[in-house]
Structure formats: structure tokens, C-alpha cells
Amino acid sequence: MTRILIGANTVETKAEVAENWGTPQLIEDAVRHGEGVLAKDGPLVVETGKHTGRSAKDKFIVQDAETADTIWWGKTNVPMTPDHFAALKADFFAHLAQRPRLYRQQLFGGSQPEHRVAVQVVTEFAWHSQFIRTLLCRPTAAELAAFAAEYSIIDLPSFRADPAKHGTRTETVVAVNFAEKLILIGGTQYAGEMKKSVFGILNYLLPVDGVMPMHCSANIGPKGDTAVFFGLSGTGKTTLSADASRTLIGDDEHGWSDTAVFNFEGGCYAKMIRLSPEAEPEIFATTKRFGTVLENVVIDPVTRELDFDDNSLAENSRGSYPIDYIPNTSDHNMGPVPKTVIMLTADAYGVLPPIAKLTPDQAMYHFLSGYTARVAGTEIGVTEPEATFSTCFGAPFMPRHPSVYGNLLKERIAKGGVQCWLVNTGWTGGMATMDGIKRMPIKATRALLNAALDGSLNDAEFRKDPNFGFMVPVAVPGIDSALLDPREAWADKAAYDRTAQVLVGQFIDNFAQFADHVDEGVRQAAPQAAVAA
């Protein structure tokens, strides 16, 4: 029997535990046990079954003396009783003891040594072990010799929770116990649950030390100027930060300390659906590397060719790869404190301009709002986009009240004289559901971003948006001016005005929950419906 120390618990298992295996061993084992297949050019291709994304409604936080007054309880942070967690843990450990194979990785969440957390991850899939050792920060040999785990994650896709016994919603569970420093993940093969659990840990711990945790990508310009890119899934965080002319710090999760922006991770987790070598050459190149893991990407069983346009397995197909698979990455996954903050949104209403300059108050307003919009998809009878407000551009991963993170951001913006921009990567000329309406051209988005990052956009002429009050450039070299004014891009101006007022109303309604937690300047940064002539 093998003993595994998990916090204050010792679990005996009949399995031999693969300790800190590297990429070749893990991928060999994954193929040997039928977890995935190798594609033509080397990546491992796996399927995650019915869970092709996070199970947000199946995540719980244990409500006890540690968390009762520190967690922002509600739809996002749902409580679990200590008794239910105790029953779940007992059954989890019993299930763990019977697994035929187990893999353990000892890793760090966070690249800045004084602000990182030591995490051990035990899982039953070799490819999950490969995923997490790619996505987190790997210790040096010396650090590994002295490694002492502060938190433990147990990841058992074959486990099935019992709602009556464990207080869960379904057979799937992600249970977080901050007092015991233990996270239990069961009933899902989606590997992203593990990395987001570490993000949640850091989002809980770092604000106490005055460090701003962020759901963002980050890169560094030639002059040492750091930019961070906030945005929800599908808005372009990974794509826009993977710029060959700038040094990549990371694509998803970072901390902003007094001295640095530091990556929480050692790898990237990019969307693969409709990936093309023309639009995203750096990311596309990773799909031809051994060590990359592709989730739910369709593969020809004979030729082993990949089809990134086929969404029959998932719209949320993903690829995980080491950060150094992207050219020009930071040696230490860190950079100077930011000069620029970019907030990305994919506005499917076609209302927002492609770029707008924000004051610090407006930046906090839009950060707390965390707006994007999605096309309703295949639902019968749904003909309009769907607004999504995810506070701090990452509500599912924010255990504390959003005002904690919002005030940290506002303080750091003011302290560093940071320039803030709102960038719309969504649709222009109409709502996304209208015939012939297309997304913002990525070349135009990149050109506007480059102008914002190099400072040349500050010299442009600006107008005040009548609905949102932020400043919008009137003309930018190389950019069609019609693109800069979304109202002019609509054939039916009255329809634009009606749609804009709908979106403004949704912003105002959503922000009501934060109004008592912010100062008057932030409340005044709210949008106003345009007055009809």
C-alpha cells in the first residue's frame, strides 16, 4: 500500500503513485491506457465526455468559521455544510484508495515567489496530470526537494457524488474547503476545473496582502511597458496577447503586486474552435507540438489530421501547452507593473465602439460590470443576443465581494497613472443575429490596440459617446472611420438607438448590486440613455 499525505489526512491506496512524472512518461501512459491518441504532428488529443466546460452550478465552498464572513455568498459562491463535506471527503478518500493508477504533481500557483502557493494535485488520469503540470508553475529540483504542499486538489473523474448524502446538486462536484486547504473534484473529465480551483485559492488569499488577482492576459512591449487584458471567455484575451512584437507574460491569470505583474501559471489554455494559421499563427503552431493536449478537437482516425472547424464534440474545444511554446515569452513569467489596462468585451448587440478611453472611475465601473454578450445559438425562437455580466471579468473565480477587487484595481490604476481602454471584439453594423453582420476585423482590433499601447492613440481626436460617456477616437490612421462610430455603421439608426438604450438599461440594472459598495465617482460613471432628438 502507498500512503499519500493530504493536509492532516493520510490516505492509503493500492495504486502505485506516479510522482512528478514528466511529459513523455505521462503522454505514453495516457496513450497506453486509452485516454487519448496522438495526432499527426505530435499533440495528444482527448475527449472530455459530457462536460466540455466548467460545471459552475456544481461548485461549492464550505461555510464555516473561516469563510462565514469572508466569502461573497450567492449564486456564484454556494455554501456547503461542514457535515456534507466530511461525508464527501470520506467517500472521496475511499474511492481514491481503490484507483488502479494515480498521478501526483507538486506545483506552484504563482510565479512571484513571495506571493505563490504550493499545491499538490492528485488525479487518476495521466493526461490530467500532464495538463496541470503544464498549466501551473513547476518547481526547480531544489524547490521540489523541499516542497511542502499548502493546498491539495484531488481530481477523480470516476467519482460520483450523492446529492442526498453530500449536499450536491448532481453527481458532479467541485468542493472547496479553505479551512482544510482541500479541494475535491469529481464526476467531470474537464481538466480546466483544476486550474480554476487554484485561481480561486489565489483570489481568496492575495487581496489580504494587497495583491490584485486578475482574470487577464498580460504582455510587455519593447520599451518594458506591461499591458493587461481583462476579458471573459471568447473575447480575445489569449489571441490578442499572443503578439510576436510583445513579450508574453501569460494568457489567463495574473497577480498585480507592488513590484510586478506575475503569471499564476506556467502554460496557456486556448480556445481551438475555428483556429487558423492566418489569424492566430503563434497559437496554431502549438497544435503541432508534442506536449500539447487538445481537448474535444475532432481528429481523423486514419490520417490523424485535425479539424478545428468541426464543433461536433464541443464549441469550447481547448488546447493546453507550455508558455514557452509561444515565441517571445517572459523568462520568469513576470513583468513590470502595468502602464495600460485593456478591458475586452464581445458586444453582440453591435452598440459599443471598437475602442474607448476610460477614466479610473469608468474603469472600475466596467470592471465590476464585466460585460460581454453571446449569441443565443440554436435555441428556437431566440433572435437577440444575450448580455452576460460577470463581475471582475471572472465572477465564478472570485470568492470575496467584488468591491474588494474593484477597489484594489482603482487604487493601483490611480497609483501608477495607468491608461485604461475598453475594446470591443464583438459585432459591428447591427446585432449578431442579423443577416450579414460580422465581427470586428481582427486586423482592425490589433491596429487599434497597437495605437493604444504605443501611445499614438492619445493624439487622436475624440468624441464623447452619448450613451456610455467614455471617449471614442474619431479617426485613426489605417482604420475605416465608419467602424469607429457604431451608430453610423448601422443602416437603421433608430434601431441602433433602441438597441443602445436596451443595453444601457441592462448595465444600470446589473450595477445596482454594487452601488452601495462604491464611491460617488464610480456611480456617476454609469451610462445614460441617449435623449431622443
Residue 164: which H helix or E strand, with range?
helix 163-166
User: What single-letter DSSP state applies at residue 531?
Assistant: P
Instruction: State residue 529's pLDDT score.
Output: 66
Instruction: State residue 379's pLDDT score.
Output: 37
| Chain position carrying cell 459598495 | 517
Beta-strand ranges (E) seen in 272-326 are 293-295, 298-299, 306-307, 318-322
Instruction: Copy the grid coordinates of residue 402.
Output: 467584488
Choose, from 51, 115, 196, 366, the residue flagged as catalytic: 196
Q: What average pLDDT does this structure show over 237-262? A: 92
Q: Is 397 helix (H, G, I), strand (E, B) or coil?
A: helix
Query: Are the beta carbons of 374 and 293 closer than 8 angstroms?
Result: no
Tell whether the model's pLDDT for residue 128 goes beyond 90.
yes
**Length of the chain in residues, anyone?**
533
Rounded percentage of the chain residues whose pLDDT exceeds 90? 87
Query: Are the beta carbons of 528 and 501 closer than 8 angstroms?
Result: no
Instruction: State residue 531's pLDDT score.
Output: 56
Tell whether the model's pLDDT for residue 533 goes beyond 50.
no
Choose, from 54, 84, 99, 115, the residue flagged as catalytic: 54
Catalytic residue at 233? yes
Choose, from 233, 292, 320, 329, the residue flagged as catalytic: 233
Instruction: State residue 381's pLDDT score.
Output: 46
Q: Give the residue, 237 or 298, on which the prediction is more confident.
A: 298
27-62: buried (b, 16+ CB within 10 Å) or exposed (e) per residue?
bebbeeeebbeebeeebbbbbbeebbbbbeebbbbb
Cα 171 to the center of its chain, rounded Å: 25
Query: Are the beta carbons of 463 and 527 closer than 8 angstroms?
Result: no
Distance CA 439, CA 161 (A): 42
Instruction: State residue 127's pLDDT score.
Output: 98
Distance CA 199, CA 109 (A): 8
Choose, from 215, 246, 339, 400, the residue flagged as catalytic: 215
Q: Which of 155, 172, 176 is nearest to 163 (CA)?
A: 172
Q: In the beta sheet, which residues pair with residue 463?
A: 472
Range from 215-219, 356-360, 480-484 carrying the lowest mean pLDDT: 480-484
Catalytic residue at 304? no
From the number of C-beta atoms within 10 Å of its C-beta (0-12, 13-18, 19+), residue 523 rates as middle
Q: What average pLDDT does this structure show over 351-377? A: 92
Query: Are the beta carbons of 144 and 103 closer than 8 angstroms?
Result: no
Rounded percentage of the chain residues whose pLDDT exceeds 70? 98
pTM: 0.92
Residue 178 CB partners (closer than 8 Å, separation 6+): 61, 62, 66, 67, 204, 399
Choose, from 52, 76, 238, 403, the residue flagged as catalytic: 238
Instruction: State residue 84's pLDDT score.
Output: 98
Sheet of 151-156, strand order: 16-19, 101-109, 117-123, 151-156, 182-186, 173-177, 59-62, 79-80
Tell whether the model's pLDDT for residue 377 goes beyond 50.
no
Tell whether the model's pLDDT for residue 2 goes beyond 90.
no
Residue 198: which H helix or E strand, with range?
helix 192-205
Distance CA 85, CA 89 (A): 6
| Average pLDDT in the chain | 94
Q: What average pLDDT does this structure show over 480-493? A: 93
Distance CA 44, CA 287 (A): 9
Q: Which of 301, 306, 310, 311 is nearest to 286 (CA)?
A: 306
Instruction: State residue 238's pLDDT score.
Output: 84
Instruction: State residue 74's pLDDT score.
Output: 95
Catalytic residue at 274? no
* Cβ count near 65 (within 10 Å): 8
DSSP per-residue string spanning 420-480: EEEEE-SEESS-TTSTT-EEPPHHHHHHHHHHHHHSGGGGS-EEE-TTT--EEES--TTS-
Catalytic residue at 237? yes
Catalytic residue at 50? no
First to last CA, the chain: 79
Instruction: Copy the grid coordinates of residue 521.
Output: 465617482
Instruction: Copy the grid coordinates of residue 196.
Output: 480554476
Q: What average pLDDT does this structure show over 197-220? A: 97
Catalytic residue at 116? no
Tell whether the model's pLDDT for residue 1 goes beyond 80.
no
Distance CA 456, CA 468 (A): 23
What are 250-309's pLDDT values in tens digits?
Answer: 999 999 999 999 999 999 999 999 999 998 899 999 999 999 999 999 999 999 999 999
Tell whether the model's pLDDT for residue 376 goes beyond 70.
no
Task: Calculate helix-pair angle for 192-205, 126-135, nearest 10 degrees.
Answer: 40
Band of the pLDDT at 14, cuts 50, 70, 90? confident
Distance CA 177, CA 6 (A): 13
Residue 146 CB partners (closer than 8 Å, separation 6+): none
Q: Give the residue, 414 or 47, on which the prediction is more confident.
A: 47
Choose, from 51, 84, 195, 237, the residue flagged as catalytic: 237
- In one-letter notation, the amino acid at residue 191 is A
DSSP per-residue string spanning 404-421: HHHHHHHHHHHHHT-EEE
Q: What average pLDDT does this structure show over 174-178? A: 98
Catalytic residue at 3? no
Q: Which of 390, 399, 405, 511 is nearest to 74 (CA)?
A: 399
From the number of C-beta atoms within 10 Å of its C-beta (0-12, 13-18, 19+), residue 502 rates as middle
Catalytic residue at 318? yes
Query: Are the beta carbons of 354 and 444 closer than 8 angstroms?
Result: yes
Residue 66 CB partners (closer than 8 Å, separation 6+): 178, 179
Distance CA 286, CA 42 (A): 10
User: What single-letter DSSP state applies at residue 530?
Assistant: P
